[in-house]
Structure 1
């Protein structure tokens, strides 16, 4: 404590002149007698630390994280029972950092998916550097929604962490993603560069189901059947051109896609190169639901494709127009299963499996209302 007129005694943590304070250590100010009138924690170019005062006015606590390698000045004004004020000043400095990490991409966002997505949509964050302090980072990632939903984060590796609900999002839900990572420790000497926020909304509940045995796709929207489409799936055979079984998500909508045989070059048996129209990607292994005028005769009765789901040109034009990124497309009947890491195969893991890869062991995240 320092300087000023007599008034209520005040305690400040970190103590005056404390060096190397962790960026996630909160600043706590307590009035042992009387009340706090104001608290300011200034970090120069790094900006101030905001905080919240207790309802009885005796305790103030900073919110968020401080910046590394920064000197902070703490100024408090307290008042005692007689109305006398006292100003105290102290200072501390945070641990130095020699590098930063940032969010490289976050999905969904308006640039690649639009503002409205399907009920199966995960939140996917990719970092530009490996994160070794996963707990610190995950604690500063939050999801808020207009309807209460239970969900959790899942680390696929040190640079990718994704969020999904336990069950599909409720239709027409508004969602906000907040990554408050500025100053957050991501590893030894490495701290977050900035905060990021993304808002999006969930559309109607549309789920498409298809069977490689029955050769039909059925689209239901909000529980009502809206379209039945004959289909042809992967033929299997020598090159194992199977359509994967599992819960796929619509990953992109592409008016034109050039498809080539994986691992087979021109002049080799099994080679193909096709220009295909009205395609909806459902995996990273080259699977799409797309227009296939050449297989209309087989659609509805047999599997002749190289692994994609073939439908007629009219049905493909309708499907690409009426599909949102993140819509579930569930395929059954194939001996090949969709891997959880193949595209957006997040729903291939049951809930206990999903939770195993969260760094926070105190249970799933309860999403709060806005």
Structure 2
């Protein structure tokens, strides 16, 4: 749709043309008609006219010199218009949904120069046949949960597939993120099959993040192409909670909006199985579970490290098995010494309290232990510095300007806005995707 300014410029152009014709009819001194001056703007559209076999993820490249884009339209072979919008950087026009396979499209565009004179361009192209080998990625975050403010946006490809390195920039370019309030961020590839998005600091309380994973038809190497085009709103809780764990003091402190609300004694990992230090994220919440290490011991229960133990109020922090959980057997040690296999041990009452307090996505910051959190062992986006995190992007390397809104999709504003009470379990369990050694609980 044209903006008011665009319509005004068009009107001014029309008026200028009419004025030129009228004055021309009156003639110059020698009675000749003076034609209106041509626009100095130069406008180029891609794909080039006649291109065939184009991916259904094709965007219209729009290049303008000495002017600005006024309008872009795209129509299919039946003449039906395709909705879309320009990227924020003005580099391309992005359809709001995947194009159809085996379909001819015609694009037209107009641009105006500083004197409001219009230039137009047109191109046409045909999309490819639907490929046989399509790879569907999944957006991990759900729309019906309010996350803690250290929760990254996460994309997973199937476990047996990794995006070839030369195609990762194009995949990133098709992952559109906007946030309210605006918070610039970037993507980081932890592996070729898993990437996470975050802003420089924790998400602001109450943020709403809209993600469009527009991967249908994106080339992924060989004869493989992306499948699916998903738009989702992700909600963040309006309270900023942080859980701080100090090995030096053997204490865990729960904070809300910067204020301490409860302190409790803890016991961390003993010398042979130290807890990890770092900025972790609550990954999943289990009111009751069983910690079972017998698979590592040939199926037997024996000794200190081969056990099958029922556990209450467990909150996962790493893929490798570091939890906050109820440990009534170590109450005498809590606040005094470390005796666990790496977990954060608390009393039954404190475990239930912190379980109700925290949400999936809340940050848990552990300090002072002998071991550092391994890269990718859990939702570790915020364990990296901003510079380190940016280095994992194929579009925003060191020194580049990251812009969360550098690309415009078509967010679905009708997605459900479901709010859950604090302490509710995340609707999907955490799923392992690489990173970290297997630990005993």
* TM tier relative to shorter chain: 0.7 to 0.9
Asked if structure 2 preserves the Cα contact closer than 8 Å seen for 1:208 and 1:220, the reply is: yes
Higher helix residue share? 2
Identify, as 1 or 2, the structure richer in strand: 1
SS of 2:374 mapped into structure 1? coil
| 1:336 matched to 2:371 | yes
Q: How far apart in 2 are the matches of 1:348 and 1:14?
A: 42
Indicate the residue corresponding to 1:319 in structure 2. Answer: 354
1:295 aligns with 2:330: yes
1:365 aligned onto 2:399: no
Give the counterpart of 1:242 among 274, 284, 289: 274
Deviations 1:59-103 (A, max 9, x none): xx852386485231438799xxxxxxxxx9985323454422211
> Which residue of the partner structure matches residue 33 of structure 1?
none
| Aligned twin of 2:150 | 120
SS in 2 for 1:366: coil
What is the aligned residue count? Answer: 333
Match for residue 145 of structure 1? 179
- In the alignment, which residue of structure 2 is the partner of 1:102? 136
Residue 317 of structure 2 is aligned with which of 259, 272, 282?
282
- What CA distance in whole angstroms lies between the structure 2 residues aligned with 1:358 and 1:43? 38
Q: Give the structure 2 partner of residue 50 of structure 1.
A: 83
In structure 2, distance between residues paired with 1:126 and 1:12: 33
C-alpha offsets along residues 235-283 of structure 1, whole Å, 9 cap, x if unaligned?
A: 12xxx22111111110111011111237335254322221000111111
In 2, are the aligned partners of 1:150 and 1:364 still within 8 Å (CA)? no
1:364–1:126 Cα change, 3 Å: farther
Q: Distance in 2 between matches of 1:255 and 1:352?
A: 37
- Seen in structure 2, the aligned counterparts of structure 1 residues 223 and 275 have a Cα distance that, compared at 3 Å, is same
Structure 1 residues 189, 50: closer, same or farther in 2, change over 3 A?
A: farther
SS in 2 for 1:340: coil
**Structure 1 residue 72 corresponds to structure 2 residue 94:** no
Q: Residues 73 and 89 of structure 1 are in contact (CA less than 8 Å); yes or no, is this contact kept in structure 2?
A: no
Task: Tell me the C-alpha RMSD between the 2 structures.
Answer: 3.3
Partner of 1:85: none
Question: Do the aligned partners of 2:324 and 2:343 also contact (CA within 8 Å) in 1?
Answer: yes
Question: Could you tell me how far apart the structure 2 residues matched to 1:179 and 1:356 are?
Answer: 21
Return the alpha-carbon distance in structure 2 between the equivalents of residues 327 and 77 of structure 1. Answer: 47
Taking the aligned partners of 2:372 and 2:207, their CA distance within structure 1 comes to 30
- Take 1:228 and 1:244, find their aligned partners in 2: how far apart are those partners? 20
Report if the CA contact (8 A) 1:68-1:183 is conserved. no
Q: Do the aligned partners of residues 89 and 25 (structure 1) sit closer, same or farther apart at CA in structure 2, a change above 3 Å counting?
A: closer
Structure 1: distance between partners of 2:352 and 2:125: 63
Q: Find the counterpart in structure 1 of residue 266 from structure 2.
A: 231
Residues 1:307 and 2:342 are matched in the alignment: yes
